[in-house]
Structure 1
Amino acid sequence: MDILDWIQNWFKSNCDGDWEHGDGIQITTLDNPGWDVEIDISKTSIASMNLDWILNENSKQDWYGVKIENQKFNAAGDSGKLIFLLGLFKEMIEKIENNTIG
């Protein structure tokens, strides 16, 4: 299953008549250029998780960052990182579901 199929299924499985009327999933562009991904995790098993901003910057054209705060998964990255950023979210959700994150 590719990442877009997975995120689409994850979104559908979390729609409860209320959650999807809030922030849900937002994907926007940055002007440097890059991507910004924000996903509401308030109704998930990681809702109480917090993660300070982690930045991995190899160059101005090769970077990404991720954080979790206020019940939101936030990730940003260069213009080639959208699939990677969504993959980070998928990996985190799957680790939680498999009880492999402490």
Structure 2
Amino acid sequence: MEILDWIQQWFKSSCDGEWEQGQGIQIITLDNPGWEIEIDISKTSVAFLDLKWILNEKSKQDWYGIKIENQKFYAVGDATKLTFLLGLFKEMIEKIENE
């Protein structure tokens, strides 16, 4: 399943009449250029997770960072990393749900 199909399905299954009224999923662009993703995980199976900031920077054009804080998944990355960052979120959800 393609990552956009998966995230759409995950979003739809997470909607409960309230969750989607708040932060839900936000994807914005950065000016360096890059992507920023914020996903509310408060009503998910991974709401208990906490992850300190991890930055993986190979160069100014090849980098990403992630953290989980206050029941939110945060990820940023260079202009080529949107699919990769969404994939990290998917891996995290599937790993916890399959344990």
TM-score computed with the length of structure 2 as normaliser: 0.99
The equivalent residue for 1:95 is 95
Number of aligned residue pairs: 99
The CA distance in 2 between the partners of 1:40 and 1:33, in whole Å, is 24
Q: Which runs of 5+ in 1 are unaligned?
A: none
Gaps of 5+ in 2: none
Corresponding residue number in structure 2 for 1:25:
25
- Partner of residue 13, structure 2: 13
- Identity score, percent: 78
**1:82 and 2:82 aligned:** yes
Counterpart residue type for residue 87 of structure 1: G
In structure 2, what is the equivalent of residue 57 of structure 1? Answer: 57
* Structure 1 ranges of 4+ moved more than 4 A: none
TM-score for both structures, normalised by structure 1 = 0.96
